[in-house]
Chains A and B, each alone.
Chain A
Amino acid sequence: MAQLFHRGANNIAKASLVIAVLLAGVAFYAYTQLARSSYLTGRYLEKQQPVQFSHKHHVGDDGIDCRYCHTSVETSASAGIPPTQTCMNCHNQLYADQEYLEPVRASYRDNKPIKWERVHDLPGYAYFNHSIHVAKGVGCSTCHGQIDNMPAVYQENTLQMEWCLSCHRQPEDFIRPKSEIYNMQWKDSNLTAEQRLKLKADYKIRSKELLTSCSTCHR
């Protein structure tokens, strides 16, 4: 019986071992990149809303404070979606006959909430509380980005666990004075590293071990 494989096949067999490992590596790398891509995380994707609401106009141009609408951000887990009445505080007079505000008026008339599309959707097994973050010096724009420049809001960050942990491991890289929480123009470089470390002590931010403990976020 003749040999099925000629002698060169030995080299192919050896090379295939290396190639298999390389391929596995490339596949793993591709997977990690795909998992972080905006295709899977929704990062940078603008959501279409039932009303053409522009944060750029209301925050950037008009200078309305975040808390005018998101009233519960300092007191509860959810920052709060304003009731339609809050819209009508101004839009009972301003642009009151504009076609594109009809969904708002209809909502007010019929006492039915507007069905906003959720932009930041955390998985059900992750616990998040806005009030503790703003109370410990984490500003809005640290996580949400320059909302005052967003006509349609998009997710600035991946909201993946590694992103949460990047701050929970080193909050001193990201915190700011409590007076600047709602300042959209704040830059981390406004303070030196020592000043931020002092803030971390002043605000009694807990140790890295506690902040990265499983049950801090998965409770």
Chain B
Amino acid sequence: MSKLINQSSKLRMSKKLIYSLLIAAFCISAIGCRYDMQDQPRYKPFKESDFFSDEKAMRDLPENTVARGNLRENKAFYTGKKENADPNVQVETTMDEDGNTVVSSFPNAIEEFPIPVTKELLDRGEQRYKIFCMVCHGPVGAGDGMIVRRGYPKPSTYHNDRLRNAPVGHFYDVITNGWGKMNGYASQIPVADRWAIVAYIRALQISQDPNSKMTMDKSSTDSAGNTDNKDNADNAETEKDSDKAESSENKDADGGEK
């Protein structure tokens, strides 16, 4: 009899033990919920890493890596340069109105847009221009943006003959690799957007050019875009001839024709 009592009390004891263990396990797992699940041991963008020596969880691509299908074969589209571009070619330089030495011949830059210039492209270009370029170059490209008013060296205005006559490839190259005090924007602006911005810069130039006879309709219907030169030749022969003669006299160093 006493044996039986002993056994049942032992049973009760072990039951108690199991219950208290269960409660303890529940409490511990509740704590686990909070921290392990909120901060899971996996990498999220921009997280710090204690594994890699540069402490970045986001890994840089090894240099010269090409993702499948991303070989940049279309040279005109990706570099804005001609197929047979010569990296050692000499360029002419000139002084601009602010006393900066600026380049005035663009022997390697392509002169036609490598993609169709459409209304959509121009709209996209306007939007991107206002994000990335307007801060310095100003709303119409006169080089009077807010950052310039804060003291950044003034960039050249788009509205002079040198840049009106510059080929589109030059603008693309400047956006991609920078120019003078301007850093390259390759990491901030994707390739197609850069061309959209170039198209919008062309539109700005036309809008501010008192001699331009080109209408906006023209650029939207022409597929492979026109450079200003071509347009000038096409549209403004009569009226512009005198002007052009004058300007090419004045700014001979500009090398109006490339």
Contact = CB atoms under 8 A, between A and B. Distances in A.
B45 to A, nearest CB: 4
- Interface residue SS majority, chain B: loop
Interface of B: 37-40, 42, 44-46, 48, 54-56, 130-132, 135, 146-147, 150-153, 181-183, 185, 187-189
Interface stretch (A14-22, A43-51, A89-97, A162-170): A89-97
Contacts of A83: 187
A93 B187 contact: no
Contact of A124 (B40, B54, B135): B40
A112 interface: yes
Contacts of A90: 147, 152
A218 B147 CA distance: 43
Contact of B37 (A64, A88, A123): A123
Interface stretch (A65-73, A146-154, A204-212): A65-73
B183 A112 contact: no
A93 B39 contact: no
B46 A86 contact: no
6 contacts: A65-B130, A81-B46, A83-B187, A88-B183, A94-B150, A124-B37
B131 A94 contact: no
Interface in A117-132: 123-125
B54 A112 contact: yes
A125 B153 CA distance: 48
- Interface residue SS majority, chain A: loop
A163 B48 CA distance: 28
B183 A124 contact: no
A123 B38 contact: yes
Interface residues of A, number: 26
B46 A124 contact: no
Given A113-B56, A124-B40, A65 B187 contact: no
Given A63-B146, A81-B46, A94-B152, A71 B37 contact: no
A67 B37 contact: no
Contacts, number: 62
B152 A62 contact: no
Nearest to A95: B151
Given A65-B130, A124-B38, A77 B45 contact: yes
A85 B183 CA distance: 8
A49 to B, nearest CB: 14
A6 interface: no
A37 interface: no
Given A62-B146, A93-B181, 5 more contacts: A65-B132, A68-B132, A78-B44, A85-B187, A124-B39
| Shortest beta-carbon contacts, A-B, top 7 | A124-B40, A78-B45, A123-B38, A65-B131, A89-B183, A67-B131, A62-B146
Contacts of A63: 135, 146
Contacts of A92: 181, 183
A182 to B, nearest CB: 9
A124 B40 CA distance: 6
A197 B153 CA distance: 47
A91 to B, nearest CB: 10
Contacts of A219: none
A81 B58 CA distance: 12
Contact of B48 (A65, A67, A68, A115): A115
Nearest to B42: A124
Nearest to A116: B46
Contacts of B38: 123-125
Nearest to B182: A89
Nearest to B185: A89
B135 A94 contact: no
A92 B152 CA distance: 9
Contact of B151 (A77, A80, A85, A94): A94
Nearest to A63: B146
A62 B135 contact: yes
Contacts of B153: 93
Contacts of A89: 182-183, 185
B53 to A, nearest CB: 11
Contacts of B44: 78, 124
A123 B40 CA distance: 8
Interface centre among A71, A83, A112, A125 (most CB of B within 10 A): A71
Contacts of B131: 65, 67-68
